[in-house]
Structure 1
Amino acid sequence: MAAAAALARLAAAFLLLTAQVACEYGMVHVVPETGGPRGKDYCILYNPQWAHLPHDLSKASLLQVQDWTASVLCSPSSLPAKGFTNQLPMVARGNCTFYEKVRLAQGSGARGLLIVSKEALVPPGGNKTQYDEIGIPVALLSHRDMLDIFQTFGQAVRAALYAPKEPMLDYNMVIIFIMAVGTVALGGYWAGSRDVRKRYVKHKRDDGPAKQEDEAVDVTPAMIGVFVVTCCSMLVLLYHFYDQLVYAIIGIFCLASSTGLYSCLSPLVQRLPFCKCRVPDNSLPYFHKRPQVLTLLLALLCVAVSVVWGVFRNEDQWAWILQDALGIAFCLYTLKTIRLPTFKACTLLLLVLFIYDVFFVFITPFLTKSGNSIMVEVATGPSDSATHEKLPMVLKVPRLNTSPLALCDRPFSLLGFGDILVPGLLVAYCHRFDIQVQSSRVYFVACTIAYGIGLLVTFMALALMQRGQPALLYLVPCTLVTSCALALWRRELGVFWTGSGFVKDLPQAAWAPASADGPQPRPDSDTAPSQQPRAEEPAPSPRPAEQSPEPAAPEETGHAAPLQEPESSAGLAPEPTGLPGPSA
Structure 2
Amino acid sequence: MDFKGGFLLVLVLIISIPCWVFGGDIVQDDDSAPKRPGCDNDFVLVKIQTWVDDKQGKEFVGVGARFGTLMESKEKHANRTRLSLSDPSDCCTKPINKLSGDVVMVHRGNCTFTTKANIAQAAGATAVLVINSRKELYKMVCEPNEESFHIKIPAVMLPKDAGASLEGSIHLGSKVAVQLYSPERPLVDMAEVFLWIMAVSTILCASYWSAWSAREATIEYEKLLKDAPDDLLSVDHAGASGVVDINTTSAVLFVVIASCFLVLFYKLMSSWFVELLVVLFCIGGVEGLQTCLVALLSRWFKDAGESFIKVPFFGAVSYLTLAISPFCIAFAVVWAVYRHKSFAWVGQDILGIALIITVLQIVRIPNLKVGTVLLGCAFLYDIFWVFVSTSLFHESVMIVVARGDRSGEDGIPMLLKIPRMFDPWGGYSIIGFGDILLPGLLIAFSLRYDWAAKKNLRAGYFLWSIIAYGSGLLITYVALNLMDGHGQPALLYIVPFTLGTIFTLGKKRGELHNLWTKGEPERVCTHVQYTQEKNMSE
CA distance in 1, matches of 2:83, 2:513: 72
Shift, 1:150, TM fit: 7.1
Which of the numbers 397, 421, 430 marks the counterpart of 1:374? 397
Distance (Å, rounded) in 1 between the aligned partners of 2:295 and 2:477? 35
Name the CA distance, whole Å, in 2 between partners of 1:285 and 1:158. 65
Aligned residue for 2:530, secondary structure, equals coil
Tell me the residue number matched to 2:454. Answer: 438
Cα distance, 1:213 vs. partner? 8.3
Give me the whole-angstrom Cα distance separating, in 1, the residues matched to 2:165 and 2:44: 22
Q: Which residue of 2 aligns with 1:364?
A: 389
Deviations 1:359-407 (A, max 9, x none): 22233334443xx42222211221xx2432521111110010141x33x
Alpha-carbon distance change, 42 to 135 in structure 1, aligned in 2, over 3 angstroms: same
Partner in structure 2 of residue 87 of structure 1: 102
Quick check: 2:33–2:142 contact (8 Å CA) kept in 1? no
2:17 alignment counterpart: none
**Partner of residue 359, structure 2:** 334
Aligned residue runs from structure 1 range 259-408, under 5 A: 259-273=287-301, 276=304, 285=312, 292-315=318-341, 317-369=342-394, 372-382=395-405, 385-388=406-409, 390-403=411-424, 405-406=425-426
1:250 CA displacement: 1.8
Q: Displacement of 1:69 after TM fit?
A: 7.6
SS at match of 2:55: coil
Question: Does residue 29 in structure 1 map to residue 55 in structure 2?
Answer: no
In structure 2, how many angstroms separate the alpha carbons of the residues matched to 1:205 and 1:286?
Answer: 30
Tell me the secondary structure at the aligned position of residue 186 of structure 2. coil
- The Cα of 1:89 is off from its aligned counterpart by 1.4
Looking at structure 1, the residues matched to 305 and 352 of structure 2 have their Cα atoms a distance apart, in angstroms, of 31
Contact 2:404 2:412 in 1 (8 A): yes
Q: Is the 8 A contact 2:131 2:160 kept in 1?
A: yes
Instruction: State the secondary structure of the residue aligned to 2:408.
Output: coil
Question: Matched residue of 1:80: which SS?
Answer: coil
Matches of 1:387 and 1:39 in 2, distance apart?
A: 21
Cα distance, 1:150–1:94 mapped onto 2, change above 3 Å: closer
What secondary structure, in the 3-state scheme, does the structure 2 residue paired with 1:132 have?
Answer: coil
Task: Confirm whether residue 496 of structure 1 aligns to residue 519 of structure 2.
Answer: no
Is 1:186 aligned with 2:205?
Answer: yes
Larger radius of gyration: 1
Identity of aligned residues (%): 31
8 Å CA contact 2:189–2:423 kept in 1: the answer is: no
SS of 1:397 mapped into structure 2: strand
Please state how far the C-alpha of 1:226 moved relative to its aligned partner. Answer: 1.3
Alignment counterpart, residue 159 of structure 1, candidates 178, 186, 189 = 178
Say which structure, 1 or 2, has more relative contact order (CA 8 Å, 6+ apart).
2
Structure 1, gaps ≥5 residues long: 1-13, 522-530, 532-584
How far apart are the structure 2 equivalents of 1:323 and 1:284? 29
Is structure 2 residue 248 aligned with structure 1 residue 231? no
Deviations 1:488-535 (A, max 9, x none): 22221111111263787xx5479952328x8623xxxxxxxxx3xxxx
The CA RMSD measured in Å over matched residues stands at 3.3
Aligned mates of 2:463, 2:66 — CA distance in 1: 47
For the 8 Å contact 1:24–1:48, the answer to whether it is kept is: no
Worse overlay, 175-184 or 87-96? 87-96
Contact 2:222 2:526 in 1 (8 A): no
- Counterpart of 1:25 in structure 2: which amino acid? L
Contact preservation (8 Å) 2:506, 2:515: yes
Contact 1:246/1:389 (8 A) holds in 2: no
Residue type of the alignment partner of 2:126: R
- d(CA) in 1 for partners of 2:86 and 2:462? 64
Q: Secondary structure at the match of 1:123?
A: coil
Q: Which residue of 1 aligns with 2:478?
A: 460
Q: In the aligned structure 2, how far is the partner of 1:495 from the partner of 1:274?
A: 38
Question: Are the equivalent residues in 2 in contact too, given 1:168–1:464 (CA < 8 A)?
Answer: no
Q: Distance in 1 between matches of 2:314 and 2:402?
A: 40
Q: Is the 8 A contact 1:31 1:159 kept in 2?
A: yes
- 3-state DSSP class of the match of 2:494? helix
1:516-558, Cα deviation, whole Å (9 max, x unpaired): 8x8623xxxxxxxxx3xxxxxxxxxxxxxxxxxxxxxxxxxxx
What is the SS of the residue equivalent to 1:91? strand
- What SS does the corresponding residue of 2:156 show, helix, strand or coil? strand
Q: Does 1:73 align with 2:87?
A: no
Superposed displacement of residue 339, structure 1: 1.1
Residue pair 1:324, 1:396 contacting (<8 A) in 2 also: yes
| Number of residue equivalences | 487
How far apart are residue 64 of structure 1 and its match?
1.8
**CA positional deviation for 1:61:** 3.3
Deviation string, structure 1 residues 443-483 (Cα, Å, up to 9, x no partner): 11221121112222222222222322211111111111111
Alpha-carbon distance, 1:220 to partner = 1.3
* Amino acid paired to 2:396: S
**2:169·2:176 contact (CA, 8 Å) conserved in 1?**
no
1:140 aligns with 2:165: no
Evaluate the alpha carbon distance shift between residue 133 and residue 437 of structure 1 in structure 2; reply closer, same or farther with a 3 A threshold.
same
* TM-score normalised over the length of structure 1: 0.75
Q: Do 2:308 and 2:318's aligned partners in 1 also have CA atoms closer than 8 Å?
A: no
In the TM superposition, residue 158 of structure 1 has moved relative to its aligned partner by 2.4
Give the secondary-structure state (helix, strand or coil) at the position aligned to 1:86: coil
Cα distance in 1 for residues equivalent to 2:285 and 2:125: 55
Distance 1:15 1:93, change over 3 A: closer
Relative to structure 2, which stretch is displaced further, 426-435 or 65-74?
65-74
The alignment status of 1:116 with 2:131, answered yes or no, reads: yes
